[in-house]
Chain A
Amino acid sequence: MPTPFASPQALPELEHATPAEIVGWAAETFTTGLVATASFGDAALVHLVATHAPETPVVLIDTQYLFAETLWYAQHLSERVGANLTIIGPDPSVVPDDLWSHDVEACCAARKVEPLRRALSGKSAWITGLRRADSPLRAGTPVAAWDPGHGLVKVNPLARMTDDEVEQYHLDHNLPRNPLSDRGYGSIGCWPCTRPVALGEDPRSGRWAGTAKTECGIHLTTAPTPTVPAPSITLTTTEGSAHVR
C-alpha cells in the first residue's frame, strides 16, 4: 500500500522547504514522538533542533570510542544552543575490546546499531543529519520518508544542504566547531576507525579508511532487521513552507 512516506517524492512541499521549516514541521507533526540523533561532527543539526524543536531529545550514541574532543564538544555546544542532549551507550555487557581491529561490522552493530534501536523504540519520527553531499551512497537521501527498517518516519532536514551552506550556517549563527574539524577530519566517528582526509577528498573517505565500508549501519535500510510496514497516516498538518515556527 503506497503511503506519503514511501518515497522522497511523496512530500514535494518539504522538498523545497528550508531546513528550519522541515524541523519545525516535524516538531508540530510528531511532537513527543520525535527524537533526533547527532554525531556532533558539526553544529548545524543540533542548532536547528534546539531552535525549532527545542523539546526534542538530541541523542549522542557514546560508542565507548568517541574522541574526547567530540564528547567535550557535545556538552559545550548543547549548553550553548540549549539542546536537550541525551547520551546513551551500548549494553552494559559491551566493554572496550579489540573487536574494531578485526570485525568492524560486529563492533558497529554492538556499539551503534543496537543502542540506536533502543533510542528509537516507541518513537514515531527520527531527525538525522544525513546530507546528499555526504557521499555517493547518500545522494538519494529524501527529506522525509518512511523508514521501514526502524518503523518510523525518518526526517533529514539537512538533506539538500551543500558543504558550503553548512559552513555558511555556522558563520551565520556563530557556532563553534568540533575541534577535530580543524585537524582535517571531514566526518567524525569512533577514533579507531576515523582518519583525517586530504583537501578535496570525499569527507567520508576518512571513515573506516582502507576498507570499502562507509556506513556504520544505522542509516542502511538493507540491514538484516525486520521491516515494518508503513502505517496509513496522511499528512495534512502543514501547508507547505510558510507555516512553520
Chain B
Amino acid sequence: MSGDVEAAKASSVQLRGHLAEELTRPSDPFDDHSALLLKFHGIYQQDNRDVRRERASKKLPLDYSCMVRASVPGGRLSATQWRALDRVAELADGSLRLTTRQGVQFHSTLKGNLKPLISTLNAELVTTLGACGDVVRNTVACPLPHADGRERILGSTVAAIARHFRPRTAAYWEVWLDGEPAVSAHPETPDLTAATGVTAGDSATSAVAGPAEEPIFGEVYLPRKFKIGLAWPGDNCIDVHGHDVGLVPTLTDGYRGELTGWTILVGGGLGMSHAREEDTYPRLATPVAWVEPERLIPAIEAVVTMQRDHGERVDRQRNRLKYLVDDRGLAWVRSQIEERLGAPVSDPPELLPWLEHNEHHGWSPTHDGDWVLGVPIPSGRLRDDEEFRPRTVVRELLDASLVREIRVSARQDLLLTGIATADRPEVERRLRAAGVKLEEEVTPLQRLAIACPALPTCGQALGEAERVLPQLVERLDKVFAEGGAEATPVRLNMTGCPNGCARPYNAEIGIVGRTKRTYDVYVGGAAAGDRLGFRLRADVPLDDIPTLLAPVVERFATDRSDGETFGDFCRRAGAESLETLLPEPTVRRRGRS
C-alpha cells in the first residue's frame, strides 16, 4: 500500500496524473491512481457505506461520490467566503461540515459537480489544495479575536505559514480552474515544460504559484500528512499537543503583551492502528526549541524537510513525524533544526500552565468594541431541516450585516464576529428562532462533545460516530445527572476508527470505533489536552458505554476533590482502581479483553 502511494506520487508529475482526462467522464468513478492524487487536491473519493453490501451483493458498482475539504487557515472566513461555501453546499449533500482542523467539508459530491464547486470557492480565495494528502495541511490557530487586539499576531503568522507551505504545483489550476496549459492530449506523458505556465487570476493560491517545482516538498512530497497548530499561552482550544508541529508564542507579560518568540513543539499525532498496538500509538507534541519571530518559518521548514528526508516512507502505519522523533530522539531533532537553519536555537521555556480550558462559546468582547458569539454546532454539521436551520440563519445574519465575519473553531463550532452591542439581542433572537441552541441552552456535554463524520461517507470508519453521538450524549447526560455530577463540563471526543481525527486519546472521555458495533473507551485525558488518557476497556458495544461509565461517574461524584475535572479524577484514580468498579464485559472477543 505504502509502495503504491509513494510510486503514485513519484509518477504523478506533481499531482497531475490523468485527472483532467478523468473529469471528462463524469459517470465513471476515479481510478485508484487518481483517487490517491485527488487527496492532495482536497478530495477523497468515497462510497456510500450504507448501501455498499447491498450493491456488492447485487454486483452493482458502488455508490461513489467525493468528499471535498476546503482549507481555512486559522478558521477565518469573510462574509463573501462564507456565502460561497454555503452556496456550493448545493453541489454536495446540502450540508457544510465544520472540521476539527477548522476546515469546511462537503460530502457526497458527484464527480461532475467537482469543478464548479472548486472554481466557485477559488473565486472567493478559498482553496481545497493541500487540505488532504501528504503535505502541510490546513494550519490551525485559536480563532478568538481577543479584546486586546493580539489576534494580529496569530493571524499574520497563520497566513504566512499557509502561504509558505502551500504546494506550488500548477496542477490544481490546470485540473480545476481551466488554467493554462490546457489538458494534455496524452495524459500518460504530460508536458513538463507547459506546467510552468501558471495563470495568475485571483485564485486563492496564485500568490505563491511559481515554477512547477516543489522547493519544500520535492517530487514525492512528504511521507505523510503534516499538521501545524498555534495556541495562545494558557488557551489550548486548538489542542496544540496533537500536531506534528505545535507553536506557542512567548509574550512580554506571560499570558499577554508583545510577541518575543515562539516555542516549537514537535511530534504530536493522535492516531494509531488497532492491528499494530505494539508499535503505533498516539503521542503528544513535546517542546524542542525556541526561536525569534523572524526565524519561525525557517525553523518550521527545517522540521518539515527533516521529515521529508528522514521520515519513514515504506511503512505507512508508522510514517508520521512522531515516530521519527521517538526513533531518533529530541536532541537529534534539535540538531537537525540547527543544521538546517545554520545557527543554534534556544532551549524551549517551560510552557505556562493552561488556564481554564475555553471553547470560546458564548459572548466575548473584541478589540474594536464589538462582540463575538461562539455557537456550539452539534458535530459541526450545518444542515437545514424543519427544526434546525443553521445555514439559513447564518446567511441572513451576514446579509443583514448583523454579523461581519465567520470563524470555525477546532471543536467544530462557529464564532460569529463583528456583532455590535446593540445587535446582540437580535442576533440571539434570530438564532433561537432558527432552532440554534446557544451555550446556556445545552448541557456542557452536548456542547463539548465532538465526533468525526465516520459512516456512511468515510472510507476509514469502522463504526458510527457523528450519527450516534446525540443519543450517546443524551444517555451520558443521564448517567452524570443520576450519578450526582450533573452539568459537569466533560470533553468527549468520538471517532469511528483509531486514526483519531476527533482527537479521542487526550480527551476526558475518548470513544474509538473498533468494529461495526464496538468501541474502545478511554478516560483520563486532560481537559486542556496536555495529557493522554488510558483505555478503560476495549470492545464495548455502543449501548453498553453508559453502563460502563456509570460507576466511574458515581465514584467521581463522591470522591472528586474541589474543582477536579472528570479527566483529572480518572487519572488520579488510575486504571487498576477504576477497573474494579466496572461491570463484567458483555462481549468478549477472542484474544482480547
| Structural contact, A72 and B26, CB atoms closer than 8 A | yes
Measured between beta carbons, the chain B residues less than 8 angstroms from A196 are: 90, 94, 384
Give min CB distance, B203 to chain A, whole Å: 13
Q: Secondary structure of the B side of the interface?
A: helix
Among the interface residues A191, A199, A210, which one has the most CB atoms of the partner chain B within 10 A? Answer: A191
Please give 18 more A-B residue pairs, beta carbons under 8 A apart, in addition to A67-B91, A72-B110, A184-B94. Answer: A65-B116, A68-B26, A68-B111, A68-B113, A69-B113, A71-B26, A72-B27, A96-B116, A96-B119, A98-B123, A183-B93, A183-B94, A192-B90, A192-B120, A195-B90, A196-B384, A198-B384, A210-B399
Question: 14 A-B pairs, CB-CB below 8 angstroms?
Answer: A68-B111, A68-B113, A69-B113, A71-B26, A72-B26, A72-B27, A96-B116, A98-B123, A183-B94, A196-B384, A198-B384, A199-B386, A210-B395, A210-B399
A194 within 8 A of B: yes
Give min CB distance, A62 to chain B, whole Å: 11
Measured between beta carbons, the chain B residues less than 8 angstroms from A195 are: 90
Measured between beta carbons, the chain B residues less than 8 angstroms from A72 are: 26-27, 110, 112
| Structural contact, B116 and A191, CB atoms closer than 8 A | yes
**Residues 87-99 of chain A: 1 if any B CB is under 8 Å from the residue's CB, otherwise 0?**
0000000001010
B87 within 8 A of A: yes
B residues neighboring A (CB under 8 Å):
26-27, 87, 90-91, 93-94, 110-113, 116, 119-120, 123, 384, 386, 395, 399
**Residues 184-211 of chain A: 1 if any B CB is under 8 Å from the residue's CB, otherwise 0?**
1000000110111011000000000010
Measured between beta carbons, the chain A residues less than 8 angstroms from B27 are: 72, 75
Measured in the bound complex, the distance between the Cα atoms of B580 and A80 in whole Å is 64
Measured between beta carbons, the chain A residues less than 8 angstroms from B90 are: 67, 191-192, 194-196
Q: Which 9 pairs, one residue from A and one from B, show the smallest C-beta to C-beta distance? A: A68-B112, A68-B110, A68-B113, A191-B90, A183-B94, A191-B91, A98-B123, A196-B94, A68-B26
User: In which size bucket is the chain A interface?
Assistant: 10 to 19
Measured in the bound complex, the distance between the Cα atoms of B113 and A194 in whole Å is 14
Measured between beta carbons, the chain A residues less than 8 angstroms from B112 are: 68, 71-72
Give min CB distance, B461 to chain A, whole Å: 22
| Structural contact, B94 and A191, CB atoms closer than 8 A | no
A57-107 interface (Cβ within 8 A of B): 65, 67-69, 71-72, 75, 96, 98
Measured in the bound complex, the distance between the Cα atoms of B384 and A199 in whole Å is 12
Measured between beta carbons, the chain A residues less than 8 angstroms from B94 are: 183-184, 196
A residues neighboring B (CB under 8 Å):
65, 67-69, 71-72, 75, 96, 98, 183-184, 191-192, 194-196, 198-199, 210
Give min CB distance, A63 to chain B, whole Å: 11
Closest B-chain residue to A183, C-beta based?
Answer: B94
Measured between beta carbons, the chain A residues less than 8 angstroms from B26 are: 68, 71-72
Measured between beta carbons, the chain B residues less than 8 angstroms from A96 are: 116, 119
| Structural contact, B93 and A69, CB atoms closer than 8 A | no
Measured in the bound complex, the distance between the Cα atoms of B115 and A65 in whole Å is 11
Among the interface residues B90, B110, B119, B395, which one has the most CB atoms of the partner chain A within 10 A? Answer: B90
Measured between beta carbons, the chain B residues less than 8 angstroms from A192 are: 87, 90, 120
| Structural contact, A198 and B386, CB atoms closer than 8 A | yes
Measured between beta carbons, the chain B residues less than 8 angstroms from A67 are: 90-91, 113
Give min CB distance, A223 to chain B, whole Å: 27
Closest A-chain residue to B115, C-beta based?
Answer: A96
Measured between beta carbons, the chain A residues less than 8 angstroms from B395 are: 210
Measured between beta carbons, the chain B residues less than 8 angstroms from A69 are: 110, 113
Give min CB distance, B29 to chain A, whole Å: 13
Measured in the bound complex, the distance between the Cα atoms of B119 and A65 in whole Å is 12
Measured in the bound complex, the distance between the Cα atoms of B16 and A86 in whole Å is 33
Measured in the bound complex, the distance between the Cα atoms of B94 and A69 in whole Å is 13
Measured in the bound complex, the distance between the Cα atoms of B231 and A146 in whole Å is 69
Among the interface residues A68, A98, A192, which one has the most CB atoms of the partner chain B within 10 A? Answer: A68
Measured in the bound complex, the distance between the Cα atoms of B91 and A35 in whole Å is 30
Give min CB distance, B325 to chain A, whole Å: 44
Measured in the bound complex, the distance between the Cα atoms of B27 and A72 in whole Å is 8
Closest A-chain residue to B396, C-beta based?
Answer: A210
Closest A-chain residue to B119, C-beta based?
Answer: A96
Measured between beta carbons, the chain A residues less than 8 angstroms from B116 are: 65, 96, 191
Closest B-chain residue to A76, C-beta based?
Answer: B27
Measured in the bound complex, the distance between the Cα atoms of B119 and A214 in whole Å is 26
| Structural contact, A191 and B113, CB atoms closer than 8 A | yes
Give min CB distance, A205 to chain B, whole Å: 12
Closest A-chain residue to B65, C-beta based?
Answer: A68
Closest B-chain residue to A179, C-beta based?
Answer: B110
Measured between beta carbons, the chain B residues less than 8 angstroms from A198 are: 384, 386
Measured between beta carbons, the chain A residues less than 8 angstroms from B111 are: 68
Closest A-chain residue to B86, C-beta based?
Answer: A195
Measured in the bound complex, the distance between the Cα atoms of B210 and A212 in whole Å is 45
